[in-house]
Amino acid sequence: MSEARAESLELLFTGELAQALHEERVELSAPAQQYVVRLLSDVQRDHLRYPLAPRYLKAVQRGQGRVHDVALRGVGDTALMLSGWWWRWTESNRHGPGVAYHVDLGWSAYRLIDGEPYDELSERFTRLVDVLAQMTVRVRESGDRTLLTSLDDETLYDLYDFYCRTSSRQAARLLKKNGFDVQEAETPQ
């Protein structure tokens, strides 16, 4: 990827993240926002490594230190992307773990890394999942509005199941737009 393309991706994600944070009423420090923007930009260039559980266990067994933190960061980053940015794929993959699994694993991985922005990312992990899901919907909506207006029955069932397991505010909004009477959960920052 060219340097100009990478810069334009970062600029796009910076604006989208700021708007989604505002809409979801999530406060995130500038260093944490920069971290998420870099993560989103890098993911467009690199493949995330999977499966996460063995990577998480190896990282925890390594004890403290740089290798430990790098390995846990990789698990947290991948879990955040799979539960937020790619939540529809994660939920539709019936042979793999769902979003709730990735949320738990990502939160735990970031929690075990000392310092910023990881303390903040761990503390607000579930809210960041909603922020990234909001960004995904907006990006997709800009090119194809059918995502929000004509979800098929199987997708609606999967979305409702996801909402029941995670209390995702974004899932609640999508369900409401498709005729479901659900309440958005009060989610702590």
Percentage of residues of the chain with pLDDT beyond 90: 18
Least trusted range by pLDDT, from 70-74, 85-89, 106-110, 134-138? 85-89
Supply the pLDDT for residue 93: 56
Query: Would 70 be classed as within a structural domain?
Result: yes
Query: Would 182 be classed as within a structural domain?
Result: no
Supply the pLDDT for residue 148: 38
Query: Would 39 be classed as within a structural domain?
Result: yes
pTM exceeds 0.95: no
Helix axes 153-166, 169-177, angle to 10 degrees: 150
Residue 9 has which token pair? 């991706």
Q: What is the mean pLDDT of the chain?
A: 76
Cis omega before residue 54 (within 30°)?
no
SS3 104: helix
d(CA 71, CA 8): 28
| Nearest residue to 91 (alpha-carbon basis) of 156, 34, 135, 173 | 156
Q: How many domains does the chain have?
A: 1
Supply the pLDDT for residue 46: 47
Query: Would 173 be classed as within a structural domain?
Result: yes
Q: In which domain, by residue range, is 17 found?
A: 3-177
Query: Would 91 be classed as within a structural domain?
Result: yes
Query: Would 185 be classed as within a structural domain?
Result: no
180 pLDDT exceeds 80?
Answer: no
Q: CA-based Rg of the chain, rounded to a whole angstrom?
A: 16
**Helices vs strands, H then E, count in the chain:** 11, 0
